[in-house]
Each structure stands twice: as C-alpha cells, then as structure tokens.
C-alpha cells in the first residue's frame, strides 16, 4: 500500500497543486485553522470558561441521550421541516433534504425557526445532495447546473470551482450548510441506473481528472461557505449493481488502489473536512457494506490514509444494508462502532421507502437508533469514548467552540 500511495501522489500532485486554494470550514484534528462560518442561528456568547475547558470536556458532560442523537442525521421529505421540530429538538446531528419538490423560497426562514434551541445548544447541520445534473435537491433556491461528467468535458477545473462557489453562496443563503458532494468515484459508463450508481455523476473515468475536478468543486463549495462531503469511499466505479437496491460490490481492493482511491487520497491531502463511505462491499477488504466496516473506516480511511475529519455513512436504508442482515438501528450501531461519526437514513428509491419518510416514521426510526446505540453502550460493545469522538467530529465541522 505504501508504494501505491507514493505512486498515486506522484500522479495527482500536479493536478492538485494547480487547483486554486480556498477557505476551509471546520477544525480537523491536524490543527490546521479554518475560518469561522456564519450560521443561520447564532450561538449564545458569554464569558469564556476556565482554560481547562475543551470541546471534548463539554461533550463528555452532555447526557448520553443527547450525545447519541448528535450522531444521527434525519431525512426531511419535500421540506416538511416544521413537522420534524420534535426530532430536531432532541439534538439530531443533521437534517437531510430529500424528495423532488422544489425548495420553498422561505427555506432559510424555516430552517432558522427550528434552530432556536436544539439539545446541546449547537445548531443542526442542514444538508442536501447538490451534485449537478439530475441530482439537485434545492431547485428553486439554487441554480441548476450540468452533470459532473458534462462539466469536466466542457469547463476547466477553475471554471468548475467558480461555479461551485456560486452554488455554495446560494446554498448558504437558503440556510443549507453542507453539500453531499462532490462524487469522487471514477466511472465512464452510462448512468446513473440500477446497474451503475455513478454514470454521469462521476467527473471522469480517469483518476487524475476525477481528482482535479472533484477537488475544484469541493474547494469552490468551501469558498461559498458550504461544507463539502466527498463520496463514495473507497469508490463505486465499476460496480455492477446500485447498492440502494440490493447487495453490491466494488472492484477488488487491489483495483481500488489504482482506480478508486486516488481521488480520495488527493482530497485528504487538501484537508477535506468530510468523507461519505459507500454501502458496497469491497472484495479483499470487507465482505459486507463498507459503511459498517472497521477495516474500511478505521483501518483504510483513518489509519492508512490518515483522514482525520468527519465520516458519514451513505443511507442505511439502502438495499445493500438490509441484504446484509441489518435493520437501520442495528446498522447505525455497527457504523458508529466501525468508526463512522454521522449516520444517515431514508431513501426515495421506491414508494415503500418513501412512505417511511413521514415525520412520525422518522421520529420512530430516530428513537429506535438512539435506543439501539444506548444498549450498545451499556453492553460495552460501543465505548463511550467512540461516541464522544464521533460527536466531536460532527461539532468540529461547524467550527463551534463549546467553551464560550
């Protein structure tokens, strides 16, 4: 692996170094500073506590239920945000906008109204998939733009960065502070489809091109004030089944090292703040979904590649997760145990899954996840230190100082 990484860095070095630098969001464990982000809801400011205070010490003092809620992001179907105020008040870590309805022009006001006093006094992360092409959840408040593959074919990386900066500014104006993009998967086939989850969502079938354009898009988002989430680690290119619909595998690990991993390695080198792990299995690394695998998250992503930011799961409502024998709550436990920091659920892939996005069902699933995590902590299978580390990574995305 070490030799492969050296080769990868040599191949992508020039592409990454040419991308203009941009402001960064959050504070990772590397200690590199990031500028503050202006949020829709201001945190209460008061006298600074004793110098021994730290985010970690404050988090450790929160009730366990609040800490466990903070590692869960809940779905909002077609911007039914007011109906989710009870879930948000429990201290959920994020809310993910799903569905096909245009975003209301009042979205920023709606978000502000539910940010008044969440548990832990930290505003919830608001997120959406704004990838481009057919994957844009904020139409009506954010400009439409082309599929990533089309952008890479027609525009320079500098132009894509400028576009993403505009998109970031528009997302922030609408109250949304996290984009579940860019896709760093390396793929050149038709799609997205049931047989190929990527297709035109991928910038290129060439790792260096996917790296340079993906990083440009991520840096543009950050310059616009939005947290980018690169996905789907360790790379879905070459998958023959869409994991949303059933069990799916990536290419074997030795092929991922030369095909799928280079864009993620390049992004990590730029201090990217967040990575989403896919639900595919990876032959040679994990027999089950990577999102639930300590070998994929704690081993490959963190230990071998040195990533120190926040790790998100792809939706745990995916067919690949249930095909592996997990419910959403049991998958959430497995993911946090494996090293993930924020678990996502909810899907609009089928009518049956969309029915589970009713606010009452979301509340029920959220409570079931927190209950399952609580039992895992009490049984000893999920250390409290792992929970606190996960919460710390989520809070760090927001550049929040809990000691103020």
Q: Over the stretch 95-128, which tens digit does the pLDDT of each residue have?
A: 999 999 999 999 999 999 888 655 556 889 999 9
pLDDT in 10s for each residue of the chain, 404 residues: 544 444 444 444 444 444 443 333 333 333 333 333 433 444 445 555 456 899 999 999 999 999 999 999 999 999 999 999 888 888 899 999 999 999 999 999 999 988 865 555 688 999 999 999 999 999 999 999 999 999 999 999 999 999 999 999 999 999 999 999 999 999 999 999 999 999 999 999 999 999 999 999 999 999 999 999 999 999 999 898 999 999 999 999 999 999 999 999 999 999 999 999 999 999 999 999 999 999 999 999 999 999 999 999 999 999 999 999 999 999 999 999 999 999 999 998 878 888 889 999 999 999 999 999 999 999 999 999 999 999 999 999 988 888 88
Q: Give residue 55's pLDDT.
A: 93
Distance of alpha carbon 309 from alpha carbon 228, whole angstroms: 12
Give the CA distances from residue 190 to residues 149, 204, 247, 344, in Å, rounded to whole numbers and listed in that order.
11, 12, 20, 27
What average pLDDT does the structure give for the chain? 89
Task: Please give the pLDDT value at position 264.
Answer: 98
| pLDDT for position 70 | 96
Closest C-alpha to 107, from 37, 166, 176 = 176
Distance, CA of 144 to CA of 103 (rounded, Å): 12
The residue extents of the domains of the chain are 2-16+63-397
For residue 87, give both structure tokens: 């879930």
pLDDT at 9: 46
Q: What is the pLDDT of residue 349?
A: 80
Looking at residue 1, its pLDDT comes to 54
* Three-state DSSP class for residue 4: helix
pLDDT (0 to 100) of residue 14: 44
**Which top CATH class is 2-16+63-397?**
alpha beta
The angle at the Cα of 256, spanning 98 to 31, to the nearest 5 degrees, equals 70
| Host H or E run for residue 72 | strand 72-77
* Phi, psi torsion values for 39, nearest 5 degrees: -95, 165
Do 314 and 293 meet the contact criterion of CB atoms below 8 Å apart? Answer: no
311 and 341 in contact (C-beta within 8 Å)?
Answer: yes
Q: For residue 240, how many other CB atoms are within 10 A of its CB? A: 12
Q: Supply 81's token pair.
A: 């945000």
Looking at residue 41, its pLDDT comes to: 40
Percent helix, strand and coil across the chain, each to the nearest 5: 45, 10, 45
Q: HSE, CB side, 13 Å, CA atoms: give it for residue 264.
A: 34
Pair 312, 341: CB distance under 8 Å: yes
Question: Which one, of 27, 43, 235, 206, lies nearest residue 124 by Cα?
Answer: 43
CB atoms within 10 A of CB 247: 18
Q: For the whole model, what pTM was predicted?
A: 0.88
């Amino acid at each position: 692996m070490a030799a492969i990484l050296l080769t990868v860095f040599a191949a992508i070095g020039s592409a990454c170094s040419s991308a203009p630098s941009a402001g960064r969001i959050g504070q990772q464990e590397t200690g590199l500073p990031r500028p503050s982000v202006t949020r829709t809801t201001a945190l209460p400011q008061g006298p600074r506590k004793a110098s021994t205070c730290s985010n970690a010490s404050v988090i450790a003092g929160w009730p366990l239920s609040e800490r466990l809620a903070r590692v869960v992001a809940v779905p909002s179907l077609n911007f039914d945000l007011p109906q989710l105020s009870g879930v948000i008040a429990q201290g959920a870590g994020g809310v993910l906008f799903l569905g096909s309805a245009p975003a209301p022009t009042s979205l920023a006001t709606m978000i502000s109204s539910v940010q008044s006093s969440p548990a832990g006094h930290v505003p919830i992360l608001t997120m959406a998939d704004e990838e481009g092409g057919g994957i844009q959840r904020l139409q009506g408040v954010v400009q439409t733009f082309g599929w990533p593959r089309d952008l890479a074919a027609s525009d320079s990386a500098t132009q894509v960065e400028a576009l993403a900066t505009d998109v970031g500014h528009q997302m922030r104006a609408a109250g949304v502070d996290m984009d579940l993009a860019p896709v760093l998967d390396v793929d050149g086939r038709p799609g997205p489809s049931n047989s190929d989850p990527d297709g035109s969502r991928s910038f290129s079938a060439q790792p260096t091109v996917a790296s340079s354009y993906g990083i440009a898009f991520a840096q543009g988002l950050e310059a616009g004030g939005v947290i980018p989430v690169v996905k789907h680690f360790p790379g879905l290119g070459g998958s023959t089944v869409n994991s949303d619909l059933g069990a799916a595998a990536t290419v074997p690990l030795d092929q991922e090292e030369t095909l799928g991993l280079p864009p993620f390695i390049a992004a990590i080198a730029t201090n990217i703040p967040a990575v989403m792990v896919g639900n595919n299995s990876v032959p040679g690394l994990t027999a089950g979904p990577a999102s639930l695998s300590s070998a994929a998250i704690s081993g490959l992503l963190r230990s071998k590649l040195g990533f120190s930011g926040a790790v998100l799961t792809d939706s745990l409502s995916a067919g690949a997760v249930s095909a592996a024998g997990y419910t959403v709550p049991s998958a959430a436990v497995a993911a946090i145990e494996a090293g993930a920091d924020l678990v996502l659920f909810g899907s609009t892939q089928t009518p049956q899954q969309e029915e589970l996005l009713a606010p009452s069902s979301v509340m029920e699933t959220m409570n079931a996840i927190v209950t399952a995590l609580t039992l895992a902590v009490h049984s000893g299978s999920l250390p409290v230190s792992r929970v606190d580390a996960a919460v710390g990574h989520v809070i760090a995305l927001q550049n929040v100082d809990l000691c103020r």
